[in-house]
Chains A and B, each alone.
Chain A
Amino acid sequence: EAGVTQSPRYAVLQEGQAVSFWCDPISGHDTLYWYQQPRDQGPQLLVYFRDEAVIDNSQLPSDRFSAVRPKGTNSTLKIQSAKQGDTATYLCASSTGDTLYFGSGTRLTVL
């Protein structure tokens, strides 16, 4: 069974640039999560979906971050105008129950 796939693995930007992260969850998993993990911290939930619906995006900086999951399968997280404080690893996870399965993450550096 294929795991959660994320791309790209790395991204380096200047402040003000835009970037998108892509996630392909495990087939059949209805719930998809995006987490932000700054260096030396634990993952922090940004947004999660059940099928195509956003269930909770209260921690998503809505002025610059957006996330979609239009067909209830793959998902894209976008940062419109990156800041140095966005430097972190962005993790995608999927589940059908209480166990989350994580991808390898995208490590973002904003210069």
Chain B
Amino acid sequence: GDSVTQTEGQVTVSESKSLIINCTYSTTSIAYPNLFWYVRYPGEGLQLLLKVITAGQKGSSRGFEATYNKETTSFHLQKASVQESDSAVYYCALDNYAQGLTFGLGTRVSVFP
């Protein structure tokens, strides 16, 4: 079946520093899945941060970027300069033929001033 791996369960970073959250995926399909980053801010529901449906393309939103790398089967999330408001739980996910999302375990990001 499909799987998504996020290696960091928790990340703590100072405000204005850079952030990278690693994500790799595995799929049994012969096609390339759609890839997503979802985020849950404190007290809020899970919401889409960005998505990329074409291998090789980059998605961006709210200062975050992620590039769909089919060679390394990765979709790492990066931000050059984080703010306290970026403190949240981030989930990498894949969608194979619109069969519902397969999520990673999530990475809790804490940004301190």
Contacts and interface: CB of A to CB of B under 8 A. Distances in A.
A42 B91 contact: yes
Nearest to A33: B100
A49 B52 CA distance: 24
B50 to A, nearest CB: 10
Contacts, number: 52
Interface stretch (B24-32, B40-48, B64-72, B75-83): B40-48
A43 B45 contact: no
Contact of B46 (A31, A43, A44, A45): A43
A7 interface: no
Interface string A38-65: 0011111100100000011000000000
Nearest to A46: B100
A12 interface: no
Contact of B100 (A4, A48, A101, A105): A48
Mostly helix, strand, loop or mixed at chain B's interface? strand
Mostly helix, strand, loop or mixed at chain A's interface? loop
Interface in A58-111: 91, 93, 97-105
A44 B103 contact: yes
B105 A41 contact: yes
Nearest to A34: B100
B9 to A, nearest CB: 8
Contacts of A44: 103
Interface of A: 3-4, 31, 33, 40-45, 48, 55-56, 91, 93, 97-105
Interface of B: 4, 9, 34, 36, 38, 44-48, 51, 53, 91, 93, 95, 98-106
